[in-house]
Chains A and B, each alone.
Chain A
Amino acid sequence: MINLHGYGPRLMEGALVTIELAVLSLILAIVLGLATASAKMSRSWALHRFATLYTTVIRGVPDLVLMMLLFFGGQIGINQVTDWLYYQFDIDIFINVNEFVAGVGTIGLIFGAYMGETFRGAFLAVDSGQIEAGRAYGMSHSLVFRRIRFPQMMRHALPGLSNNWMVLLKTTALVSVIGLSDMVKIASEASKATREPFTFMFIVAVIYLLIASVSEWGFARLQKRYDVGFEEVD
């Protein structure tokens, strides 16, 4: 069998970091995505422009470059502010951008832009007659959102959401380059220490495939749930 040279437990810890990172980034991305979609659909010119700028710039630059900019640059930017506070007012604040936070922040920021497009399309796909009907029943805006727009929007958004999740999951591997101990980083450390790079990376690949397969299955079940009332017609 495969000899892990005692790196098995650490590799599992790394896998957990990868999953945590992916899930937290996904949550951030969904929040940003909903905000972007609303901004793009709003009547405010400024909000619309801002959202468009955000999605265009983010989708035009590689993830890794954004990550390095935020991780290395973000820290130096913050340091300049805190140093200024210290010299001006003798206030000693200490703000630390760690790799995990930079990772979640960047991945969330990147996929927020993609989610924005997904959600916008999905909201537009909801039949406006149903929204009017809801209003006619005297439902409040928030109730219409909760009971009518959101559940139906999700039906349309799920394929895009699942697609984004798969890409996001693989993007998490990049955090190893900025030094976060996810499973790719641990595998690469183990590779160098044991001089057996193939073994560890192979295991990492299998774990990624496993996570991808499980989430594919999960999304298929979710889709079934939201598809209730829309039987497939052949």
Chain B
Amino acid sequence: MESLTTWLKNLLADNSIFTLQTLSFYGEGLANTVQLVFLSLIIGLLLAIPLAIARGSKRAWIRLPIFFYCYVFRGTPLLVQLYLIYYGVVFVEGIQDTWLWVILEEPFVPALIAFTLNTGAYTTEIFRGAIKSTPRGEIEAARAYGMSWSLMLRRIVLPSAFRRALPAYGNEVIFMLHASAIASVVTIMDLTGAARFVYARFYAPFDAFLFVAAIYLCLTFGIIYLFRHLEKRLLAHLKPASG
């Protein structure tokens, strides 16, 4: 650790912008961005799976509210949703006096809620599409075997739907990473927040924003690589036999 710090210090010796202080801002930003995106994707996914199943329900009172949720969250900008949740929670009468305020006080939690609800809506639609396109023969075969609805869902419909949804979901992950850049407007020190800080302090837009663009580019490539790998493993059976 000691040697790393001296090495960095020498590297940064004749550089007034990328000092240890600003680099630590970028480091903090990276940690915040990754946490925010990862958590919202996981929770959003957990939310989306039951919603996607229920979205196909024959009962209107189950189907319609989910449709409405997806419609609203996919039809409005994430920035507006973030503002509504960040400032909206404050106007719940007396919320500052409850235990909830302890978590809502931090900008991280309202942002996490907004991001989760947003990605949840998109993911629900992605899975809905994948479930809908289950080959009819597979369902008929499951029925013929006397499988119950829940067993069929678990063994037949969901596993094949997950595979089909994978490419679209990969895009959604990248989309969330990029969308998370707006976290800086509610004072979260994410990657973009760090870049804005450096820009404002040194009036050096190229250094500040090109550096952060490069980090985002690396993260994006990482995600693309990960999903290619997953697709290769999970979708191998869909490849043409002759390669």
**Chain A interfacial positions (CB closer than 8 Å to B):** 57, 59-66, 68-69, 72-73, 76-77, 166, 170-174, 176-177, 184, 188, 191, 197-198, 201-202, 204-205, 208-209, 212-213
Contact = CB atoms under 8 A, between A and B. Distances in A.
A147 to B, nearest CB: 35
A72 B216 CA distance: 19
Interface stretch (B44-52, B73-81, B131-139): B73-81
Given A60-B216, A60-B221, A63-B178, A209 B83 contact: no
B199 A68 contact: yes
- The majority secondary structure among interface residues of chain A is helix
Interface residues of B, number: 39
Interface in B166-190: 174, 177-182, 185
A208 to B, nearest CB: 5
B40 interface: no
11 contacts: A60-B220, A61-B217, A65-B192, A69-B209, A76-B203, A173-B77, A191-B87, A197-B83, A198-B87, A205-B72, A205-B76
Given A63-B181, A212-B75, A198 B192 contact: no
B44 to A, nearest CB: 17
B151 interface: no
A81 to B, nearest CB: 14
B213 interface: yes
B79 A174 contact: yes
Contacts of A62: 177-181, 192, 216
A208 B78 CA distance: 11
Given A62-B216, A63-B178, A184 B79 contact: yes
B178 A61 contact: yes
B181 A65 contact: yes
B84 interface: yes
B63 interface: no
A17 to B, nearest CB: 14
The 7 residue pairs across chains A and B that have the minimum distance between CB atoms: A197-B87, A173-B77, A73-B205, A62-B181, A62-B178, A72-B205, A69-B209
B235 interface: no
Contacts of A213: 75
Contact of B80 (A60, A69, A205, A212): A205
B206 interface: yes
B230 to A, nearest CB: 19
A184 B87 contact: no
Contacts of B216: 60-62, 65
A61 B213 contact: yes
A72 B78 contact: no
Q: Which of B76, B88, B199 has the most CB of A within 10 A?
A: B76
Count chain B CB atoms within 10 A of each CB in A62, A208, A212 and give the residue with the most.
A62
A68 B182 contact: no
A198 B87 CA distance: 7
